[in-house]
Amino acid sequence: MNHPPILLGTSSFTASGWDGVFYPKGMRSADYLAFYAEHFHTVEVDATFYGCPSARTVNNWGARTPEGFIFSVKVPQVITHDKVLADCDVDLKEFLDTMSILGPKLGPIVFQFPFFNRSVFRDRHQFLDRLVPFLAKLPNSQKIALEMRNRDWLKAEFADPLRDHRIALVLQDRSFMPRPAELTFDPITADWTYIRWLGDRKTIEEQTTTWDKVVVDRSAELSGWVDFCYQMRRCGVIVFAYANNHYAGHAPATIKQFQQLWQAKGLPEIARPQRIRRKASLFD
């Protein structure tokens, strides 16, 4: 199935404060995913970061979503944080085998690494010595994305092996990481890219921990991302983009604002999911 050139979603499909704001008040949590899939093409699953889910859980995800819906999944932290790619073949195989249950609904597989201090890796060269052989083990049939949090490591030398393996470098909008325009190399390392609107967790949690409304104005930043995504679309690069609640306060509203900014610029329409039911929500 052909997918639209820009797929928008949120980081997870549940959060404190979404009931009665995004989801109709009183909706059963078991119905959340199906409702979510009527408004978004994709979701970034955060739960897999904490451990590989059961086959039953993954089957349920597939059963509750329509054809064409895409799950982006984070690799379990035992691989990226605890073992840091070493001696993790069994863990990786279990995860990939379980995710394969999703079939064509499985989208990007995200390796989210922590910030590495010098006690773990002396520099990016030492990390690359471990990363590059690992990349060769990854399946060519899957979309793989890699997120780094050591901003000083983001150099052309780091991007080159990702480009060799057609692995996407995750682009981030967060307080301590550079945006694409600030990088000194081409950050598009595959024929698709992966964007995460993450914000500043510490600062926003001083204002709220109930994610029911926008508390930070991100209009200027999102306008810039609209321009960037349009350029990616013109270049034939598929965009997967996900909003976190910590970006502005309410992830669904961030996506809606992106869509409104896109329309206001008179850009070609972004395809939207076909709805099965009609219920009042933020998007109506």
Residue 283 lies in a domain: no
Residue 269 lies in a domain: no
Q: How many residues does the chain have?
A: 284
pLDDT score recorded for residue 278 = 40
Q: Which amino acid is at 219?
A: S
Q: How far is CA 76 from CA 2, 46, 92, 126, in A?
A: 29, 9, 9, 22
Q: What is the pTM assigned to this prediction?
A: 0.94
Residue 244 lies in a domain: yes
Residue 123 lies in a domain: yes
Q: Quick one: which of 78, 146, 77, 135 has its CA closest to 108?
A: 146
Q: What is the rounded CA–CA span in Å between residue 185 and residue 53?
A: 37
Who contacts 28 (Cβ-Cβ below 8 Å, separation ≥6)?
none
Q: pLDDT by residue (tens digit) across 57-84?
A: 999 999 999 999 999 999 999 999 999 9
The answer to whether 83 touches 92, Cβ cutoff 8 Å, is no
Residue with tokens 């890699």: 146
Q: pLDDT by residue (tens digit) across 9-48?
A: 999 999 999 999 999 999 999 999 999 999 999 999 999 9
Where residue 213 sits, what CATH number does that domain have? 3.20.20.410
Q: pLDDT by residue (tens digit) across 80-125?
A: 999 999 999 999 999 999 999 999 999 999 999 999 999 999 999 9
Degrees, nearest 5: CA angle 153-157-115: 20
Per DSSP, the chain holds a count of helices (H) and strands (E) of: 10, 8
Q: pLDDT by residue (tens digit) across 146-204?
A: 999 999 999 999 999 999 999 999 999 999 999 999 999 999 999 999 999 999 999 99
pLDDT average, residue stretch 221-248: 97
The answer to whether 186 touches 214, Cβ cutoff 8 Å, is no
Residue 143 lies in a domain: yes
Q: What is the rounded CA–CA span in Å between residue 240 and residue 31?
A: 24
Residue 136 lies in a domain: yes
Residue 276 lies in a domain: no
Domain count, the chain: 1
Q: Which two tokens stand for residue 265?
A: 């610029």
Q: Which residues form the domain of 99?
A: 6-264
Strand blocks (E) in the chain = 6-10, 42-45, 70-74, 106-112, 144-147, 168-174, 192-199, 238-243
Q: What is the rounded CA–CA span in Å between residue 198 and residue 241?
A: 11
pLDDT score recorded for residue 70 = 97
Q: Could you tell me the pLDDT band of residue 275, with boundaries at 50, 70 and 90? A: low
Residue 198 lies in a domain: yes
